[in-house]
């Protein structure tokens, strides 16, 4: 039930209606791993620069995240800056400096080749495919992507989509990938590209899991205050893959439904602070309490 995430570790500068944070720990692999570690051992494969604060690496270690695959390369760490509009629904990227991330070519060490659950965060689909080729016998693989790869590297993306079990997208991406404007039909068209599962993330409106033989809709967990939505999707993925990793059968419908609910719950912690602060502080008891509250939220 070991989990591997390949993605970014970044220093983010974020402005939201609730305040501002500068050069704080972020990146898809960071959010994913910090969520998934609640369920099963997780290892991250990523790259940072020489300026990456030792305290961040120590934090990962303290959370029992395997950082043996977190390489340090000459140069600066990937930096992203963005700001959110008043309703949190529109995000504007102010600055992207790939730095060492531009040359990221993930190579798995022996310890990670046997990973059973793999999350391919939002990187070039050829790199995602390269990672898959290195994993010996994955049990369940999920990838995330974005409009940039859908438009610019569609062929590579379609290649890797044929090789994964699940794909995470937002509704705009699902529509862009398939040309279908109706969300349900778009998600089904995604399944025809290969994955047996499409998870459509809808931000404050929750998520929909579309499989060949079932549909599952889960609302976002209603938090009292959204501080920063950055990383919510990767946190969802961490809860989702993490919960699957400890299921007897990760392909069973009930396991997939419960996993998506865990994803929603983990994401609800993530948005309550800048960076990983609230997610780091979340206890297993708090997670289970929100799972119970989520169940009650949708009961009728």
Q: State the residues that interact with a copy of itself by CB under 8 A.
A: 17, 86-87, 175, 181-185, 202, 204-206, 208, 214-219, 222-226, 254, 257-258, 260-261, 295-300
The residues that bridge with 134 in the sheet, in sequence order, are: none
Give CA–CA dist 145/143, Å, rounded: 7
**What is the strand order of the sheet 215-218 is part of?**
65-72, 42-48, 3-6, 117-120, 140-144, 166-170, 197-201, 207-211, 215-218
Question: Would strands 140-144 and 117-120 be described as parallel, antiparallel, or unpaired?
Answer: parallel
Q: At a CB cut-off of 8 Å and minimum separation 6, what does 41 contact?
A: 1, 2, 3, 64, 66
Pick between residue 121 and residue 174 the one whose CB is nearest to a copy of itself.
174
Minimum distance, C-beta of residue 88 to a copy of itself, in the bound complex (Å): 8
Q: Characterize the bridge pairing of strands 91-97 and 79-84.
A: antiparallel
Find the shortest distance in angstroms from Cβ 249 to a copy of itself: 15
- Give 4 or 177: the residue with its C-beta nearer to a copy of itself: 177
Shortest Cβ 288–a copy of itself spacing (Å): 14
Let me know the angle formed at the C-alpha of 259 by 253 and 265, rounded to the nearest 5 degrees.
Answer: 145
The residue (of 87 and 95) whose beta carbon lies closer to a copy of itself is 87
Q: How far apart are CA 289 and CA 292, in angstroms?
A: 5
Q: State the minimum distance, in angstroms, from the CB of residue 173 to a copy of itself.
A: 14
What is d(CA 261, CA 219) in angstroms, rounded to the nearest whole number?
Answer: 9
| 154 Cβ contact partners less than 8 Å away, ≥ 6 residues apart | none
Residue with Cβ nearer a copy of itself (106 or 206): 206
- Name the minimum Å distance from CB 220 to a copy of itself: 8
Most distant CA atoms of the chain, gap in Å: 56
CB of 187 to a copy of itself, least distance (A): 10
Report, in Å, the least distance between residue 277 CB and a copy of itself: 19
Neighbour tally for 158: CB within 10 Å: 14
Question: Which one, 113 or 292, has the nearer CB to a copy of itself?
Answer: 292
CB of 74 or CB of 179, closer to a copy of itself = 179
Take residue 247 and report the two structure tokens written for it.
């299921």
Give Cα separations from 97 to 23, 101, 104, 180 (angstroms): 12, 9, 13, 33
Smallest gap from Cβ 206 to a copy of itself, in A, equals 7
Question: Which is nearer to a copy of itself, 81 or 217 (by Cβ)?
Answer: 217
Distance from C-alpha of 224 to C-alpha of 110, rounded to nearest angstrom: 44
Closer residue to a copy of itself (CB): 90 or 133: 90
């Amino acid at each position: 039930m070991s989990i591997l995430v390949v993605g970014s570790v970044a220093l983010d500068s974020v402005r939201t209606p609730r305040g501002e944070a500068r050069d704080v720990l972020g990146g898809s692999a960071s959010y994913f791993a910090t969520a998934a570690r609640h369920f099963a051992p997780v290892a991250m494969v990523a790259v940072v620069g020489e300026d990456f604060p030792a305290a961040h690496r120590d934090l990962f270690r303290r959370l029992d995240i395997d950082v043996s695959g977190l390489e340090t390369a000459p140069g600066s760490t990937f930096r992203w800056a963005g700001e959110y509009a008043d309703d949190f629904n529109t995000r504007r990227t102010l600055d992207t400096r790939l730095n060492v991330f531009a040359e990221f070519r993930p190579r798995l060490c022996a310890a990670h080749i046997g990973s059973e659950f793999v999350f391919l965060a939002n990187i070039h689909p050829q790199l995602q495919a390269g990672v898959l080729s290195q994993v010996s016998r994955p049990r369940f693989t999920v990838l995330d992507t974005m409009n940039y790869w859908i438009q610019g590297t569609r062929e590579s993306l379609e290649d890797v989509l044929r090789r994964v079990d699940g794909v995470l997208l937002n509704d705009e991406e699902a529509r862009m990938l398939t040309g279908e404007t109706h969300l349900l039909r778009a998600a089904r068209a995604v399944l025809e590209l290969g994955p047996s599962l499409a998870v459509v993330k809808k931000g404050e409106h929750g998520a929909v899991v579309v499989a060949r033989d079932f549909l599952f809709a889960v609302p976002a967990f209603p938090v009292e205050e959204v501080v920063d939505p950055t990383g919510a999707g990767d946190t969802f993925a961490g809860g989702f893959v993490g919960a699957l990793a400890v299921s007897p059968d990760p392909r069973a419908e009930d396991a997939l439904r419960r996993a998506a609910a865990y994803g929603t719950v983990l994401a609800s912690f993530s948005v309550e602070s800048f960076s990983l602060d609230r997610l780091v502080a979340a206890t297993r008891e708090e997670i289970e309490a929100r799972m119970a509250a989520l169940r009650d939220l949708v009961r009728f």
